[in-house]
Structure 1
Amino acid sequence: MLRATLPTVATGDLTDLALHDAAGGRVLVVGDGNFSFTRAFLRANAARVASGAIALTATSLDTHAELLRMYPSAAAALAELAAGGASVAHGVDATRLSEWRRPDETSRAFDRVVFNFPHFAAGGAKRNKIHRHRQLLCEFFASAAAVLARDGLVFVTLCAGQGGTPCDPKPRAPGDTWQVVQCAADAGLVLRDVHRCPVETLAALGYLSVGYKLRERGFWTPDSVTHVFGREAVGVPAPFPIEWTRAISFWTHEGFTEAKVAAILRASFPAPMTLRYELTDTYTCPQTGRASVTYAFTVACAYSALSKARVNARALAALRRIESSGFASSRAA
């Protein structure tokens, strides 16, 4: 079961995308397969799309001919979208959105970007490695961030167990998930909300997911989870901050104290980042008598996109400061 309450801002669900005010917004849907999600969203917001309050654009990676060959049911959805005032574009790569020449000839940013059930599908029925799915997510988030408005949101829906957040209804070991929050952090995006996808409501509006093994077969959508991401914002915490654990080892010299190490670590990972550390190993060289220590530390932050690269860079800088402090030196020396 998903947690009943989450410490997040209100972001709406896939039927409204939190576009509640009169200003509406610009919505981009990518990778929609048979375009039935975009049609469902149009049906739920028909008056606002027709009036122009919501500018709705849907894209597919496939060309129009490829789309109809794989998903014959898409023809009816495309006709309804055109009649309802939505824009459609084919041959659009969701991982290269900044290169896309848009139908409206504008470069205005989008207020919402939606990608439901993204997956690396090369090879058709071939079982794909998790790292391929993660790579797709990383590339998509970087692409979406490039066309996202300052206060925009990115909605990504995954099957149960794939996302890897603590509220996933089918928990898996972290290494067996797609690590969606970490992938988004690489693009500077922070998790804002997590909620169950309104599958029944969308189905009643005509949504049917397709694309499983590149066929007109749907994914297993019950208990699927929608993850909502936004840019870093002052004072807005993420419901599930990313935690990273790293270890550093070095030779100790006269003047070494744990307090000095802690001071360097805290300076390297300042507030609002949180830091925990502990001494995990000591070693004395039998030949030289030199002593070394190993510290493990865990870093988290609810207010920033704490990516693996950012943590690694700060950890390396901290180790270099320790090694040049006079009370320690590199184990590599």
Structure 2
Amino acid sequence: MVSVESLLSEVNTLFEHRLVFKAADELFFGDKMLYHNHSNDGSKKEISGGNRDTDRRKGKRKDQKDKNHSSDMNEKPVGSDGLRNAIASARKTIKQALEDTSDDATSNALTKLTEEVVALKKINDEMRNEIDKLREDFQKILNYAQQLKPCIFSALERVGSRTLILGDGNFSFTLAFARLHPETEICTSVFESYSEYVTKYPSAKKNITELRTNHPCVHILFSIDACLLPKDWAGFYDDIIWNFPHHCGKTNLRKSRQLIRKTFASVGRILLSGRFHITLAKGQSGLDHSSILSKRCFKYRRLPEHRSDSWNIIYIAAEEYFILQQAFIFQSELFPQYTSSGYHNSERSFNHKTGSETLIFVRTPVVTRIKEFLEYENKIFRIKRVAHEWRPFFQRDLSIIYLNATKAAELEKILFLLIEEFCGHALLDFYEVIDLRTYYLGQPNHIYRFIWQSWRIPLSK
């Protein structure tokens, strides 16, 4: 049986290069070479006994040389044409080596590899550009967050020197707030007169007694309508707090919005610079509750999720030039003595500790000119197609008929440039709704969706 090792010993490791070596030998020696295999094995007997045979072979070789000498003189010298033949053979051998199929595969693989390297380099350059763009956008968001940071801390950790509390019901919130801020001058109020109040909230007498006895900075006011606050209070209060507002009667969306609208108008007349804190039950504000829970107020390439079946408080606030500065879950742990009241216009309590939202509004300058509005908007950092969860946004469809169909593409580019220049940072998105494309009197009618939003100046219809 033939072993693997014996077969491998017969394989010439330089087999594929034999033609090249052959051509090199022919170039060097000037003629074709004859190769023999010689064994290194031999006995001493053969060496010692082979002297006579060697001498005999030498004699024959000498005679043969002398015999052929005359004929060799007439022949061409060895190697005179052999060099040319060797060169030609070498060229042919090299050509065969270059035309070998294995080399073609290597060449194809090298070409493919080169193409892949070029493609990878292109992808790498694109990724670098994307990373640079992301870094730039992240820096803009970070800068905007730094602008909000002082407002956030002032809203959460402290209030002004004078605070007005509206519609406190049983005054339990006022009591807890006074314990948290003992040096703040507090005016707390209810809608009812004193006689109506003690009838409606009989258990609140002990809270009134404690406030008047232990908290001299607290002033209790009766018959105060949040919708008609006295004008002579203008500029007096730094903070106004209103927890769980409701109209007298069953829940009604229209009446609730009307109450909010009148109160914002009333507060706007007296709160010249300060904060308006409103706490609502979960879902009443119309804002995305998850954005308040996670304090995430930016969305990229997505519109804010504002519920229409709600109080739409940020839209109503914008009508009176109020903008939402901060939103967070109501911190009931700060006010352990607080027990809600007023359920169904009575002393009955309701659940205020689960998901209630505290919204802090501030008043903004009144802007009536587009140029002035754009100046305010362009002062802040904005990223294209990034929407703010806590700002009103509006969208309208715009119909444009192109009388010259051949120039529709060119005119559309001009339209986009004009819209972007005219709206500035307020432009959230502008695109054609392809599904609504029609024809009017044989001319193309394109429908464009126009979406805008302001971050610094509140917009309303």
TM-score after normalising by structure 2: 0.54
1:31 aligns with 2:167: yes
**1:165 counterpart letter in structure 2:** L
Residue in 2 that maps onto 1:63: 193
SS in 2 for 1:216: coil
Aligned with 2:218 (options 86, 111, 121): 86
Residue in 2 that maps onto 1:77: 207
Offset, 1:73: 2.0
Superposed CA RMSD in Å reads 2.9
Residue in 2 that maps onto 1:139: 262
**2:240 counterpart letter in structure 1:** V
Residue in 2 that maps onto 1:260: 414
Give the alignment of 1:163-242 within 5 angstroms: 163-166=285-288, 167-168=291-292, 174-202=307-335, 204=336, 206-221=337-352, 222-232=354-364, 240-242=390-392
Higher strand share: 1
**1:102-148 CA-partner distances (Å, limit 9, x unpaired):** xxxx6443110111001233xx3x3x332322222222122112111
Q: In structure 1, what is the Cα distance between the partners aligned to 2:255 and 2:157? A: 28
Residue in 2 that maps onto 1:149: 272
SS in 2 for 1:183: helix
Distance of aligned partners of 1:264 and 1:174 in 2 relative to their CA distance in 1, 3 Å threshold: same
Aligned with 1:18 (options 134, 152, 158): 158
Q: In structure 2, what is the Cα distance between the partners aligned to 1:68 and 1:259? A: 69
Quick check: 2:243–2:279 contact (8 Å CA) kept in 1?
yes
Larger RCO (CA under 8 A, 6+ residues apart): 1
Quick check: 1:161–1:172 contact (8 Å CA) kept in 2?
no
Offset, 1:210: 0.6
Give the alignment of 1:89-104 within 5 angstroms: 89-99=221-231
**1:161 counterpart letter in structure 2:** G
**1:67 counterpart letter in structure 2:** Y
Offset, 1:231: 2.3
**1:130-181 CA-partner distances (Å, limit 9, x unpaired):** 232222222212211211132x011000111222223256x99712222222
SS in 2 for 1:134: helix
**1:220-271 CA-partner distances (Å, limit 9, x unpaired):** 2122111111123876897733322222224333466223333443354333
Quick check: 1:249–1:293 contact (8 Å CA) kept in 2?
yes
Distance of aligned partners of 1:25 and 1:112 in 2 relative to their CA distance in 1, 3 Å threshold: same
Higher-Rg member (1/2): 2
Quick check: 1:160–1:168 contact (8 Å CA) kept in 2?
no
Q: In structure 1, what is the Cα distance between the partners aligned to 2:309 and 2:244? A: 17
Q: Which runs of 5+ in 2 are unaligned?
A: 1-143, 294-303, 366-375, 382-387
**2:171 counterpart letter in structure 1:** F
Q: In structure 2, what is the Cα distance between the partners aligned to 1:242 and 1:185? A: 8
Q: In structure 1, what is the Cα distance between the partners aligned to 2:422 and 2:198? A: 54
Q: In structure 1, what is the Cα distance between the partners aligned to 2:422 and 2:227? A: 33
Quick check: 1:164–1:180 contact (8 Å CA) kept in 2?
yes
Q: In structure 2, what is the Cα distance between the partners aligned to 1:172 and 1:80? A: 44
Distance of aligned partners of 1:158 and 1:245 in 2 relative to their CA distance in 1, 3 Å threshold: same
Offset, 1:41: 0.7
Quick check: 2:305–2:389 contact (8 Å CA) kept in 1?
no
SS in 2 for 1:253: coil
Aligned length: 277
Residue identity over aligned pairs, in percent, reads 26
SS in 1 for 2:311: coil
Offset, 1:274: 3.3
Q: In structure 2, what is the Cα distance between the partners aligned to 1:77 and 1:230? A: 31
Q: In structure 2, what is the Cα distance between the partners aligned to 1:263 and 1:236? A: 21
Residue in 1 that maps onto 2:237: 110
Deviates more, 1:36-45 or 1:78-87: 78-87
Q: In structure 2, what is the Cα distance between the partners aligned to 1:41 and 1:240? A: 27
1:251 aligns with 2:251: no
1:302 aligns with 2:455: yes
Q: In structure 1, what is the Cα distance between the partners aligned to 2:204 and 2:170? A: 4
Distance of aligned partners of 1:276 and 1:76 in 2 relative to their CA distance in 1, 3 Å threshold: same
Distance of aligned partners of 1:42 and 1:12 in 2 relative to their CA distance in 1, 3 Å threshold: farther
**2:238 counterpart letter in structure 1:** D
Distance of aligned partners of 1:236 and 1:138 in 2 relative to their CA distance in 1, 3 Å threshold: farther
**2:420 counterpart letter in structure 1:** R
Q: Which runs of 5+ in 1 are unaligned?
A: 1-5, 49-53, 310-333
Distance of aligned partners of 1:108 and 1:86 in 2 relative to their CA distance in 1, 3 Å threshold: same
Residue in 2 that maps onto 1:283: 438
Quick check: 1:161–1:168 contact (8 Å CA) kept in 2?
no
**1:188 counterpart letter in structure 2:** Y
Distance of aligned partners of 1:78 and 1:18 in 2 relative to their CA distance in 1, 3 Å threshold: same
Higher helix share: 2
**1:296-331 CA-partner distances (Å, limit 9, x unpaired):** 111122222122x2xxxxxxxxxxxxxxxxxxxxxx
Offset, 1:71: 0.9
Offset, 1:211: 0.7
**1:32-63 CA-partner distances (Å, limit 9, x unpaired):** 111211111112122x1xxxxx2211111111
**1:249 counterpart letter in structure 2:** S
